[in-house]
Structure 1
């Protein structure tokens, strides 16, 4: 199976005057020349964009909406680095809503699939995946895994564990304790195993079945 084509789209405030941003862009260029990413696309946006229908920066606003949709599905937040604020004109009193754009933002694609938008934050874990971290991953040839993906795996693992520890005793309905495949009920003393069909089988029932199937010649 062929490897995915990795594309990094780097959005920066124009002009590029801050050294940290220059350094990150240069590292991305090195990644492209070394082949750890296949394509690097540079895009620029202003410091702030007025949220109006006739904004000249519709492409940047569409990018923000796309990032927000991805973050919502992933269970993470992109605010910050994106921020919204309002400003009021001292002359007319009119109020405008502005979208404050980050100094740098990366979107990473594997073929045509959006892998992640960076930086982003898992608010529940209070953890942020920074652009420095994702660039370091790309530098080593590793495709970054967004924070929400790890959270989903942990939640899935916890769900399976809860299901295993919260099973009901077939005799009294209380919770069973799983001891490496042998289930026991501390309330009524029921002990058994899980059959191939997913049903609980008492050890007494299993022994009775095994005894009844033994032929006289085998006894």
Structure 2
């Protein structure tokens, strides 16, 4: 189980202006998560449909957020492209066009003690973990478990979810920070159900 004393924050990013009732309904569901036992804080943020990649963009923080999400996805062997897209738009004043980021209509990011642990939606190439499904789990006071894809070079020393150091118990890897657990094969990580960590006691020594 997850430590209930660990602070959980959900950041809900929405494209403005909103014109779809289902999107507004999901935003309200996200806002209401603070009424449950799991989520401590819900932050609502808006972003435009497109954002330039250059450093002079007035929405540079959106690009930085996308880069953070993209790095998280790479560590897990999944993708956030889509829902994010990168495009080059023609420009009459800039030769070669302008590179822009297209944002999703709705995106959830879950943080544990300010550490990014999941982004929704994301995909492993076959299955997409939707915002709707993540909200269902969060409303049940359960952390949604992200998908795990096939990473090129899995690191057996680092948790694929939070990057903390893993404990290797005869082939079963457990993270003492976020309590992720799984096994490692040539094709990548296989995540297991929650594992209770037993406290370790130093062996007695003779004085």
Tell whether the structures are fold-level matches, with TM greater than 0.5: yes
**Counterparts of 2:70 and 2:40, CA distance in 1:** 25
Task: Report the counterpart of residue 156 of structure 1 in structure 2.
Answer: 184
Mapping of 1:29-68 within 5 angstroms? 29-68=31-70
TM-score by length of 1: 0.65
Greater fraction of residues in helix: 1
Task: Report the counterpart of residue 146 of structure 1 in structure 2.
Answer: 146
User: Shift of the alpha carbon at 1:143?
Assistant: 0.4
User: Shift of the alpha carbon at 1:155?
Assistant: 6.2
Bigger relative CO (Cα 8 Å, ≥ 6 apart):
2
Q: Which runs of 5+ in 2 are unaligned?
A: 152-159, 161-180, 188-207
Render the CA deviation track for 1:43-78: whole Å, top value 9, x for unaligned. Answer: 111000111110000111110110011111111000
CA contact 2:53–2:60 (8 Å) conserved in 1: no
2:12 is aligned, of 10, 13, 21, to: 10
Render the CA deviation track for 1:105-135: whole Å, top value 9, x for unaligned. Answer: 1110122221101100002xx0110000000
Residues 24, 58 of structure 1: CA spacing in aligned structure 2 closer, same or farther, 3 A cutoff? same
1:84 is aligned, of 86, 91, 107, to: 86
Q: Which runs of 5+ in 1 are unaligned?
A: 160-219
User: Which has the larger Rg?
Assistant: 1
TM-score by length of 2: 0.68
**Counterparts of 2:149 and 2:8, CA distance in 1:** 19
Q: Which moved more, 1:114-123 or 1:90-99?
A: 90-99
Residues 53, 150 of structure 1: CA spacing in aligned structure 2 closer, same or farther, 3 A cutoff? closer
CA contact 2:15–2:104 (8 Å) conserved in 1: yes
**Counterparts of 1:28 and 1:114, CA distance in 2:** 17
Task: Report the counterpart of residue 74 of structure 1 in structure 2.
Answer: 76
Residues 34, 65 of structure 1: CA spacing in aligned structure 2 closer, same or farther, 3 A cutoff? same
Task: Report the counterpart of residue 104 of structure 2 in structure 1.
Answer: 102
The runs of at least 4 aligned residues of structure 1 exceeding 3 Å deviation read 90-94, 149-155
User: Shift of the alpha carbon at 1:157?
Assistant: 6.3
